[in-house]
Amino acid sequence: MTWRLALLLLAAASLVPASQARIDQHTGTFRAQEEVLYLWSGEHVRRLVPGFESLAADIYWLRTVQYFGGQRLFVSGKRFELLRPLIDITTTLDPRLEIAYRYGAIFLSEPPPLGAGRPREGVAVLERGVAALPESWRLRQDLGFFHVLFLKDPQTASRILIEASQIPGAAFWLRTMAADVLAKGGDRASARLMWQRMFEQSEEGIIRENARVRLSILDSLDARDALAAAVAESARRHGHWPARLDRLAAEGLWRRPLADAAGYPFGYDPSTGRVFITDQSPMWRPD
Amino acid sequence: MGGRLSRTLAVAANTFRETVRERVLYNLVFFAILLTVAGLLLGQLSVRQDEKILKDIGLAAMDLFGTLIAVFIGTGLVSKEIERRSLYPLLAKPLSRGEFYLGKFAGLAFTLLVNLGAMLLGLLLTLLLTGRRPDPVLLGAVFPILLGLLLTVAFAMLFSSLTSATLAAVLTVSVVVVGRFADVIRGMRDVAPGVPPALVNALFAIVPNFSNFDFKSKVAYGDAVPAAVLGWTMLYAAAWIVVVLGLGLAAFRARDFK
C-alpha cells in the first residue's frame, strides 16, 4: 500500500515540471510584459500593511529590480512602463530608501535601450527624494548632475549643486563644480567629472556599471574627435579626405586602435571625412 | 504573599511547558530557514540593500509570528481549560482565580520572551555570518515588539474569558489591526472635518495605539530609539496591560463555571 502511494506521489510530482514546460511553451518563459500592478498607489499599499511598511517596501524594491532586469534582458521594444509606479510605491512605503531614488532616476532617464528615456520623470523621482531626505547631499548632487546631463540646464544645476554643497558633510568639490557647470555650460569635461563622481560613490552593481559605461562613451567620443582631427590633418596635407582610416597610421597621424571603447571599429565616410561611432556599438548614443 | 507568588509562578511555569509542548517554538525553525535563505539570496537581488532587508525580514517575522502566537495561544489559555474542564480541579485546589489568570499571562509572556530572544539571536547571527555588524540598536525595536505582544495576550485573555476561543481570536485580531490604524483615527479631523472633535478624541483614547510599538523601520537604518521614547512606550504599554488584564480578571472572576 505504502509503495503504491509513493508511486502515485512520484507520478503526480513528475507532472508538475512537465505541465509547467507546456505552459511556458504557450506563454513564454518570461512574462514581465504581461505584469500588471494591481495597486498603483503607495498610500493604498501602506494602508494594507500597517506595521509592515518597511518589509513591503523591500518586496516592492526587489520587484523593481527584477522587473527592470527582466525587461532589459528578455523584452523586445522595452518601455519600462512599470518602473515609475514601482519606484513611487517603494519610496512611499519607505521614504528613506535612497538607492530607490538613485536607481529609478538613472534608469528612467537613460535613453533606450538602456533605460526608459524619460529624463523629466527621472528628475521628478530625484526631487521627491530630495524632499524626503533633505540631509542627503548625494541625492541633491545627483539632481544637479541630472539637470546638466539629461535636461541640459546648467543654470538650475549650478543652483542645486550650491545647495548640495551647503549640506553638512557635503563633498568639498561641489561648490567648484557648480561654478564650472555655470561657466562651461555642461561640456564633456564636466560630464566626465560627474559620471566619475557617481562611479566612485556607487558600490559594485548596476548603477556603478552604468557610470562605467557612461565614462567609456565619453572616452569613445574623445577618441572619435581626435581621430576626426587626424583625418582633417591628412586632408590638409593631401588636399582630399583619406580613402580609409588605416591610412592614418601609415602617415604617422594615428597610433591607437581604430575602435571605440567597446572594441567596435569607428565608422568613416570618405566623401565627407566624418568619423562616427556606429549604431551597432554599445557606445553609440543618439545625438 | 510568598505563597500567592509561588502559586502564580507555578501556573506560569506549567503554561510555559504546555506552550512549548504545543510546538509553538517550531516557528523558530521556520525563522532560521527564512533568514538563511534571505541571507544567501538578497546580496544578489537587492542592489546592496541586503543588510537593511535582512533586518526588516527578521523584525517583521518577530512581530508577525509573535502576534500569531499571542493571539492563538492567548485565546486558548483560559477557554481550553474551560472546554477541557481541567479548570475545575485546579480551582478546587488552594489557587485563586487571580493567581490562575495572572499565572497564565506570565507563562505565555515568558514563552514570547524566549521566542523573541531566540529570533533576535538568529538575526544577529545571520548578520554576523553575512559579514555585517550585529547591531545592538535592534533591541530598540525588539523590546517594543514584546510590549505590543504582551498587550495582545492581555486582550486575547480578556476576550476568551468572555466568549469562545474562535470569537476571541477574531476580536483580538480586530483590536490589533484597528490599533495599528490608530493614527488614521487621530487624523480623522483632517479628512472629515464634520466629525465632532470629542468623538475623535474619545475613539482615539479607547483604541490601543499599536503603532506606538513599531520602531522597525527606524532601527533597520541603524537609528537608535531614544531611551525616553522607550520609557514612555513602556509606561503606555504597562497602563494598557494593567487595564485590560484587570478587566479580564474581573470577567473571569464573575464567570459562573457551574
Which of A51, A99, A207 is opposite residue B49, by nearest beta carbon? A99
From chain B, which residues contact A within 8 Å (Cβ)? Answer: 45-49, 52-53, 56-57, 60, 63-64, 177, 180-181, 184, 210-211, 214, 216-217, 220-221
Residue B61 neighbours by CB under 8 Å, 6+ apart: B31, B34, B35, B119
Chain A partners within 8 Å of B217 (Cβ): 53-54, 94, 96
Cβ-contact A141, A174 below 8 angstroms = yes
pLDDT given for residue A27 in this prediction = 63
The residue among A93, A47, A51, A59 whose CA lies nearest residue B64 is A51
What nine digits make up the cell of B130? Answer: 553575512
Q: Could you please report the per-residue DSSP string of B178-233?
A: HHHTHHHHHTHHHH-TTS-HHHHHHHHHHS--GGGG--HHHHHTTPPPPHHHHHHH
Which of A57, A58, A205 is opposite residue B48, by nearest beta carbon? A205
Q: Write down the pTM of the prediction.
A: 0.78
Q: Is B53 in contact with A52 (Cβ distance < 8 A)? A: no
Distances (CA, A) of A39 to A24, A48, A88: 26, 10, 11
Mean pLDDT of chain B: 88
How far apart CA B14 and CA B20 sit, in angstroms, is 10
Q: Is B46 in contact with A58 (Cβ distance < 8 A)? A: yes
Taking one residue from A and the other from B, the number of pairs with CB-CB distance under 8 angstroms is 57
- Give B131→chain A minimum CA distance, Å: 16
pLDDT per residue rounded down to tens, chain A (287 residues): 688 888 888 888 888 888 878 877 776 555 544 555 666 788 888 888 888 999 999 999 988 988 888 887 776 667 788 899 999 999 999 999 999 999 999 989 988 878 888 999 999 999 999 999 999 999 999 999 999 889 989 899 999 999 999 999 998 888 888 888 887 776 888 888 888 888 888 777 778 888 898 899 999 999 999 999 999 999 999 889 999 988 888 888 888 888 998 899 999 999 999 999 998 888 887 66
Distances (CA, A) of A185 to A142, A179, A181, A225, B87: 17, 10, 5, 19, 84
pLDDT given for residue A265 in this prediction = 93
Report the percent of chain B where pLDDT is more than 90: 48
How far apart CA A18 and CA A25 sit, in angstroms, is 11
Higher pLDDT, B193 or B61: B61
Chain B partners within 8 Å of A204 (Cβ): 48
Q: Could you please report the per-residue DSSP string of A94-119?
A: -TT-HHHHHHHHHHHHSPTTTS---H
Q: Is A99 in contact with B45 (Cβ distance < 8 A)? A: no
Q: Which residue has cell 550650491?
A: A162
- Give A209→chain B minimum CA distance, Å: 12
Q: Is A53 in contact with B217 (Cβ distance < 8 A)? A: yes
What nine digits make up the cell of B80? Answer: 481550553
pLDDT given for residue B206 in this prediction = 87
pLDDT exceeds 90 at position B240: yes
